[in-house]
Structure 1
C-alpha cells in the first residue's frame, strides 16, 4: 500500500502540466494561459520588428510562424530611457485578455507615459475582462523611434500613431478568434495614450477601426506641463502636436550632431545613441496620418463620429507640480510662485491668475490647482464640448482624495486624486509607477467604487452609453453629478 502511495506521488510530480488554451490567428497558433474564467495571450507580434532598414518605416504585417507560439510572456517594451536595459526596438507586440464566450466587445488600450515611456504590459485588465470584455493592450514605438522627423522621411512624426492603427487592423482581423466582436471595438487610453486616442479620432487611416473611444486624463487640447530645474522655478506648458516641419528640423539637428548626412546613416546608429536624443519628438500634423492639428479638426467636426467617454482626475497636477519643488528640496514660496506666474503669463495676466489662484499658506498647492485646471481638466472639458456638437460625449471626474499614490510621487502634500490615480480602480497594475496596486491595495469602500467604475466602463464598451447625463464624479463617499466647468474655473481659462 505504501509503495502504491509513493508511485502515485511520483506520477503526480512528473505528470506534464496541463497545456494552456490555444487560438489560431492569421499569423499562426498561440498558446496562452488560463486563470479562472479569463484567458491571457501575451507577446503576440502584430507587425514586423521595426529594426535595421525598418527603423522609421511604416509598420509591416508580422510574418507568419509555424507550430505553436508560446504566448505566456509579454514582449519587450519599446525602447525608452526609463527602461534602458529592459526595452528594445523589437517591440511591436500585444497582449489579449479574454473571457470565455463569443461576440464579446473589444477594448484596445493605449498606455500613457508622454509618448516616451510605458508599455501595454503596465496593466492587468483581468477584472475588466471578467465583465465580458476582450481587452487588447499594445506596445507602440516611442520617443525618437516613434515620432522622429527628418526631411524626406516618409511618415515623419507619426510612426507610433501608425503602429496603433496597425494594431487596430490586427484586432479587426483576429478579434473573433479570441471571442471578440470586431464590429464593437473601443479605443481607450490614459494620459498621452488618451491624447493619441483623440488624434486617432481625426486620422483618415483610423476610419472604421473603432466604434467608441475612452479618453482618461488626456485629450486633443491637453498640454505637457514643464517646470524649472537647478533651483529656478518656471511654469510652462508644452504641446503634444507640432507641424511636421518642426519635427523635421529637430531630426536634422540630431543628424548633424551625430555626424549623419542622411537617414541611412542614422539607421546605422545604435539604439542607445538615439535614445540620448529623444527630446523634441512627438506626434506631427500636416502628414497623411494627421492632415491637420487635431485641435482644429475636432473643433470643425472633422472626426470619426463615435460615442466618447472622457474624463480627468480632480487633482491631476498634484503629481506633476511636485517637479517644481523637487529641485528646491522644500515647498514653493509665495514670492517664487508670483515670479513664476509673471514670467509665464506676463505682468497683467499674471496678476489676474494670482487673484484667481492666490498663494495663501501653500503656494505649491495653488500651483497644483492652477495646472490641474489649465493643463488637464479644462482642456479635457473643452475637447468634450467641441466633440459634443457632432457625437455623444459622456464625462466623468475621478475624485477619491485618498487614492493610492504613485511611486513617482515625492510631493510635499497629499497626492489626492492625482494624475493616473484612477488606473488602479479600473485595472490591476503590474509594472510602472503604480506597480503592485490591486484590489487588496484599496479599502472596502474604495473596492466598491472600483467595482462601480469597472461596471460603467464595461457598459460603455458594450453599448456606447452610460447611466448618467452630466459630469459624473467618482468618490468612495459620493457618486453623483458635478459641475466640472465651474469647479475648475474653465471660463477663466477660456478668456
Structure 2
C-alpha cells in the first residue's frame, strides 16, 4: 500500500496535505513575547504574538523507546524548571521520497490559543492529522486562524505511525492500536491541562481528516474514549469507507481494503513483516525490538491500513459498530470533498499508469466482477471528458461519497449529525500534481481553508475563497462552542436526519455559494445500493 500511495502522488502521500505552494509572507507583526503556562507535569514557555499564543513541542507521553517500543503510552514524567515550547517536537518515523524522517521520540503536541478572548473558558479542539497512518505530524497544521477567529484552543498531537503504531503480533498487548492509544493519551492530557490554557476540559471536540478522520470515527466506537470527548468532526474519514479493488487508485493488482483490519489479519501482517526482516518464529517481538528504526522502515509501508479491531480499544469493527449503534452519542460534523479521487487518478497517470479507453473495462471487471457491465452502463465513457475522469467519478461516488452518506445515516439515527460536502471546483492543487486533469475538490483540498499548512497561508486563494474559509472556520468553531455550526453571513446549517437528509455544499459564491444538496442523487447512491443488494 505504501508503494501505491507514493505512486498516486509522485512522492506526496495521498492521505495528507502535501504542501506545494509559493510562500505567503505574513504581515509585519509585533515582536513576540514569551508566555509561560504551568501544566500538571511542569512549566513551559511559549510565544505570544499579540494575536495567538503558541506552545509547540510539548511532551505528552514518555518517549516510546527501548522496552517502551510497542507498548501503551506512558504518562509524561514531571520536569523541573521551564521547558522550551517555542519549536515543534520531532515527527514520528516516516519516509518522504525514500528518505527517512523523524524519530521514535515523537510523542509531542502543540497548543494554539487566542491571545485575547471575549469569553472563557474556551472550547478545545483536538486535531488528528491525516497521512494514511504512515506519515504527517501535528505541527504541519498551524491553527492560528482557527484559534484566533473562532476563539478556541487547538491541540495538534503526533501519534505513532506505520509499523511503530500498528504492529500486531501474537501475545503482544496493545497489538495494532498503539497509534490509537497515543491519541487517547493526548486526549487524557487535554482533560488534565486544558484549564491551564484557559480551556474547558468539559468541552472537547475531536476533529480529524483522512486517516485522522478514520481515527476519530474509530475512537467514537472505543469504550476508552468515554468521558474524553464531547463532540466530533470527521473530514473524509467516516468508519464506513471502503475501496473495491482499484478504486483507491487505478493501479493493477491493488486489492479491496478498508481502514481497519481484524486482529488476526493484523497479526498475520506483523508475522510476515517480521519474517521479511529475518526474525525467527516465536522470537518476533524481541527480534523487532532489537532492530534500528532504519531497518524497521523497510516494512513500514505494510501498516497503512491495519488499525486492529477485536482488541480492547476497538472491540468491534468500527464500521459494524457505527451500523449497529454501538458508538459514543455525541454531536458530529461529517463529510467529504466532492471529487475525492480526482487527485489520486491524476497522480497515478502522472506516474505513468493512466486510465484509458482500453483498460477501463478491465478496471471495471477487477473492481465489480459480474456487475461491471451495469457500472459501465451507469458511467459510460462517452459521458465524460476523459477515461480518467470517468474512473475518478466512479471511485469518488462508490468509495467515498456513498459510504460517507451511509455513515451519516447510521449516526443520525442515534445522535445529532451535521453533514457537508466541500465542493470548491477551483480548490488548491493540494498535492502539486503537474497535470491538466480537472482536480476539482480533490482529497485534502479543504485543508488550506482551515489551517495554514506548514505555517503559511495558502498563496493564490481568491477573496471569495478566503470568505469561504472564514465561513468554514465559523461553522467548525461555533460547533465546538455550542454544538451547532453557525457562521456570520452564511446560511443556516440544519441537522441531517434520516427523513430530511440535509447536506450542506460548501463552495464559493461564484459557484453557487453555500447551500443544501441531494448528496445521494449527486453521487448516484441509489444505484450503488441496488448494486450491492
Summarize deviations over 1:474-495 as a string: whole Å, max 9, x none: 1112110011111011122223
Q: Identify unmatched segments of 5+ residues in structure 2.
A: 1-30, 486-491, 495-501
Q: Does 1:341 align with 2:355?
A: no
Q: Does 1:129 align with 2:147?
A: yes
2:493 paired residue among 462, 465, 468? 468
**Cα displacement (A) at 1:117:** 0.7
**Cα displacement (A) at 1:79:** 0.6
Q: Does 1:74 align with 2:109?
A: no
| Residues 402-481 of structure 1 aligned to structure 2 (within 5 Å) | 402-430=426-454, 436-438=456-458, 440-466=459-485, 467-469=492-494, 470-477=502-509, 478-481=513-516
| Residues 38-187 of structure 1 aligned to structure 2 (within 5 Å) | 38-82=52-96, 84-99=99-114, 100-101=116-117, 102-130=120-148, 131-187=150-206
**Cα displacement (A) at 1:250:** 1.3
Q: Distance in 2 between matches of 1:422 and 1:98?
A: 22
CA contact (8 A) 2:54 2:112 kept: yes
Q: Distance in 2 between matches of 1:82 and 1:493?
A: 36
CA contact (8 A) 1:143 1:278 kept: yes
Question: What is the DSSP-based 3-state SS (H/G/I as helix, E as strand, rest coil) of the residue aligned with 2:34?
Answer: coil
**Which is higher, the Rg of structure 1 or of structure 2?**
1
| Residues 216-231 of structure 1 aligned to structure 2 (within 5 Å) | 216-223=235-242, 227=246
Q: Distance in 1 between matches of 2:232 and 2:32?
A: 38
CA contact (8 A) 2:89 2:108 kept: yes
Q: Distance in 1 between matches of 2:154 and 2:33?
A: 22
Q: Does 1:270 align with 2:284?
A: no
Moved more, 75-84 or 355-364: 75-84
Q: Distance in 2 between matches of 1:374 and 1:263?
A: 39
What TM-score results when the alignment is normalised by the length of structure 2? 0.85
Structure 1 equivalent of residue 529 of structure 2: 494
CA distance 1:369–1:236, shift in 2 (3 Å): farther
Q: Does 1:253 align with 2:272?
A: yes
Higher relative contact order (CA 8 A, sep 6+): 2
CA contact (8 A) 2:32 2:47 kept: no
CA contact (8 A) 2:205 2:231 kept: yes
Summarize deviations over 1:396-434 as a string: whole Å, max 9, x none: 111111111123424441211100011111111117xxx
CA contact (8 A) 2:244 2:367 kept: no
Q: Distance in 2 between matches of 1:177 and 1:225?
A: 47
CA contact (8 A) 2:109 2:158 kept: yes
Question: What is the DSSP-based 3-state SS (H/G/I as helix, E as strand, rest coil) of the residue aligned with 2:302?
Answer: coil
Q: Does 1:198 align with 2:217?
A: yes
Structure 2 equivalent of residue 12 of structure 1: none
Structure 2 equivalent of residue 8 of structure 1: none
CA contact (8 A) 1:227 1:321 kept: no
**Cα displacement (A) at 1:468:** 1.4
Q: Distance in 2 between matches of 1:234 and 1:486?
A: 31
CA contact (8 A) 2:245 2:367 kept: no
CA distance 1:19–1:325, shift in 2 (3 Å): closer
Q: Identify unmatched segments of 5+ residues in structure 1.
A: 1-16
1:376 paired residue among 400, 409, 413? 400
CA contact (8 A) 1:77 1:87 kept: yes
Moved more, 411-420 or 385-394: 411-420
Q: Distance in 1 between matches of 2:401 and 2:322?
A: 17
Q: Distance in 2 between matches of 1:262 and 1:407?
A: 37
Q: Distance in 2 between matches of 1:121 and 1:129?
A: 15
What TM-score results when the alignment is normalised by the length of structure 1? 0.91
Q: Distance in 2 between matches of 1:445 and 1:47?
A: 42
Aligned residues: 472
CA contact (8 A) 1:224 1:240 kept: no
Structure 1 equivalent of residue 342 of structure 2: 318
RMSD of Structure 2 on Structure 1 (CA): 2.0
CA contact (8 A) 2:89 2:106 kept: yes
CA contact (8 A) 1:225 1:235 kept: no
Structure 2 equivalent of residue 291 of structure 1: 315
CA contact (8 A) 2:33 2:48 kept: no
Q: Distance in 2 between matches of 1:254 and 1:158?
A: 17
CA contact (8 A) 1:203 1:290 kept: yes
